[in-house]
Amino acid sequence: MKCACPVQRSPTVRCSPAFRPRPRAGRPGSGSLPGDCVTHEAQEAVITTAIKPASWSYAEEFVAEDEIVESARARAREVGVVPVGSGAGAALRFLASVLDARAVVEIGTGTGVSGLWLLRGMRADGVLTTVDIETEHQRLARQTFTDAGIPAQRARTISGAALEVLPRLTDGHYDLVFCDGDKREYDAYLAEALRLLRPGGVVVFDNALWHDRVADPAQRDEETVAIRELGRVVAESEGLISVLLPVGDGLLAAKKVWVPEA
């Protein structure tokens, strides 16, 4: 069979033997590549090649952080908080911007790193409602927001346990819910988020890969099992369109699909 590629052959463009696909049952001769044409199987081999550490670091640091975020990270280290990385922060800002978010809920305030990324992606009149059980963390977050020039009315901090605070928030009012709290409560956060989100809104969970533990079936600790089960539920839900983004420690995002009433 002759190659039907509509491109001019070049001595510098050819299929490497390393990418030649293995023969498959019922497809005689599928293990060879005629001419210089790259087949679908060869493309798959390239696509599934593991990302090199240098490329991973480049992607993580693609959007630079300013001194305000760096200062918030320093405060996080002082109080033992692990905030999202710059890659995950940039993804949150992107999602808030794409949604033109006016109202966002954050579970897990920390020192304001993720909150500031979200606020910078939201509308100029958007309001972030951020919940944390540690009042000191919220004080530090407010300092971060002030340093960034965020008006006080745009960041509403609520102290308390997430599952006690969330039921008090308005149904269907929010564009985005970001969850970075107790991993064992992620399933309950999902239920609350779906109630809070408008149709078309997005829920995002941090640590969806949980230090490479979620992908390892041998890891059965309580937090890993909870995150793994959350991923299964989200992926199988007909009312959600989901994606697992390999940024930072993993971001699981899902759009709430609008379902017309019968």
The torsion angles phi and psi of 106, rounded to 5 degrees, stand at: -125, 125
- 204 residue type, one letter: V
What is the chain's length?
262
Q: Which residue has the tokens 């006690």?
A: 164
- For 193, residues 6+ apart whose C-beta sits below 8 A from its C-beta are 105, 177, 179, 203
Q: What is the pLDDT of residue 14?
A: 38
Q: What is the pLDDT of residue 24?
A: 39
Rg (CA), the chain: 23
DSSP code of 20? P
In whole angstroms, what is the distance from residue 32 CA to residue 117 CA? 49
In whole angstroms, what is the distance from residue 8 CA to residue 207 CA? 46
Where do the domains of the chain lie?
A: 57-256
The torsion angles phi and psi of 91, rounded to 5 degrees, stand at: -65, -40
Fold of 57-256: Rossmann fold (3.40.50)
- Contact of 240 with 234, CB cutoff 8 Å: yes
Strand partners, 256: 240
pLDDT in tens, the chain (262 residues): 444 444 333 333 333 333 333 443 443 344 433 444 444 454 444 444 566 789 888 888 898 889 999 999 999 999 999 999 999 999 999 999 999 999 999 999 999 999 999 999 999 999 999 999 999 999 999 999 999 999 999 999 999 999 999 999 999 999 999 999 999 999 999 999 999 999 999 999 999 999 999 999 999 999 999 999 999 999 999 999 999 999 999 999 999 997 655 4
Structure tokens at 222: 């309580």
Q: What is the pLDDT of residue 22?
A: 40
- Contact of 157 with 130, CB cutoff 8 Å: yes
Q: What is the largest CA-CA distance in the chain?
A: 70
Q: If DSSP codes are grouped into helix, strand and coil, which group holds residue 146?
A: helix
